[in-house]
Amino acid sequence: MGRILIRGGRILDPAASRDEVADVLIEDGKIAAIGAGLDASGTTAIDAAGCWVAPGFVDLHTHLREPGQEYKEDIASGGRSAVAGGFTTVCCMANTHPVNDDPAVTDYILDRARQDSPARVLPIAAATRGLEGRVMTEMSALQKAGAVAFSDDGRTLMDGAVMRRVLEYARMIGAPVSVHAEDRHLVGQGVVNEGAVSTRLGLPGSPAAAETVLVARDLLLAELTGGHLHVAHVSTAGSVDLIRAARERGVHVTAEVTPHHLTLTDEAALGYDTNTKMAPPLRSASDVRACRQGLVDGVLDAIATDHAPHAPHEKDVEFTAAPPGVLGFETAFPVVMDLVRTGEITPLELMRRLSTTPARILRLRSGTLAVGAEADVVVLDPDREWVYDPMKGWSKSHNSPWAGKTMRGRAVATIVAGRLVYDADRGMLVP
């Protein structure tokens, strides 16, 4: 394996609270040294002047669609899209076909990932069989096969007694339970946030309370059981408040927020663009403000993309009929850079939310640039301007609310296990 020297970048390593200009030497797949003026002989040199060098991003929430819906995405295309966005590890949700509720499916995903994906792929297995919310999966066997967490994502687990048992069992085996908190009865037919926007659009609304009541239930169940609750894609001010209060009284809870819920309000849907339809829906300006503040305060620990590819024929229909979800990997960094530009968060803290903390939530060894650590590294140009064209992206799908928008900030080089797998100017460097 070759040696790589990343020269003269601004090192942002949240794990060591390091923010300084230096070189990074990578050797034998590991971080070998960090310092000024490291010897470049015999290395592939990457000029990082004016760029940031950070631990590769870790995405706690993505949909790779394989097995079963490879027309939307597969592990190869999703893995490429991930590294093009600076993600070196992605956790894929269980709502595949078949559902990842059996170790054979977990094995299959890991096997395909080893062969096809430049990003590391970690499966999140279903909490209940078929995501039906009734019978728990064999969580221990799934964990032994490689599942890192459990979730019925996309299908809220509505039965509180089952949820309690899932949390109890997950606690015994030391795994987090990631929840898509939306009370299905309160959501009803809702396809956008309930409020002035849903009225103007004449579309059925889903109230913020549909999320918040479920977050309240699950926090209480986490408290009851001692299980590790991870709240996926937080979108309401009420959820942020409840998570903050629960954390203060010692509940084992972590939470994530998406780039879209941090930057777009429900008004983005006023043009009936189905690429603004997601679950949970885009919310009001005050919810967005609360999510941003929650991220800044660390109440929301991590940024996760909820990368959710859907094919054009599925999205190019009336709003009520379109499936919810948007692409996430390739736009995540420039989109959340908005919080750095407004001065809400420092670059170092942003990197913590994209890499170090999500890695810690899953107790991964990544998320650090410590000497001796696996070399999962991203080089970011915080100022590079580019126009995002999903047709030219790496995903098989194109459903993004940012299509055609000028982006500022880009992953320019991504290294996984010491191998340069992506370079923004040269493209994908894997077969």
* Residues that bind ligand DOR in the complex, under the rule CB under 6 A: 63, 95, 153-154, 180, 278-279, 306, 308, 323-325
β-strands 18-27, 4-13: how paired? Answer: antiparallel
**SS percent in the chain: helix, strand, coil, step 5:** 35, 25, 40
User: Which residues, in sequence order, are CB contacts of 111 under 8 Å at separation 6+?
Assistant: none
Please give the DSSP secondary-structure letter assigned to residue 266: G
306 labelled catalytic: yes
Alpha carbon distance 77, 70 (integer Å): 9
Q: How far is the CB of 397 from ligand DOR (least distance, A)?
A: 10
For ligand DOR, the closer of residues 322 and 416 by Cβ is 322
Give me the residue whose beta carbon is nearest to ligand DOR: 325
Q: How far is the CB of 36 from ligand DOR (least distance, A)?
A: 45
Upstream peptide bond of 103 is cis (omega within 30 degrees of 0): no
Q: How far is the CB of 29 from ligand DOR (least distance, A)?
A: 33
Alpha carbon distance 163, 160 (integer Å): 5
For ligand DOR, the closer of residues 154 and 207 by Cβ is 154
For ligand DOR, the closer of residues 95 and 366 by Cβ is 95
For ligand DOR, the closer of residues 72 and 360 by Cβ is 72
Alpha carbon distance 156, 153 (integer Å): 7
For ligand DOR, the closer of residues 95 and 357 by Cβ is 95
Burial track 110-147 (b if 16+ CB lie within 10 A, e otherwise): bebbeebbbbbbbbbbbbbbebebeebbebeebbebbb
Per the residue annotation, which of 306, 316, 338, 381 is the catalytic one?
Answer: 306
The label of the residue with tokens 């991964």 reads 364
Q: How far is the CB of 276 from ligand DOR (least distance, A)?
A: 11
Q: How far is the CB of 277 from ligand DOR (least distance, A)?
A: 8
Residues tagged active-site: 306
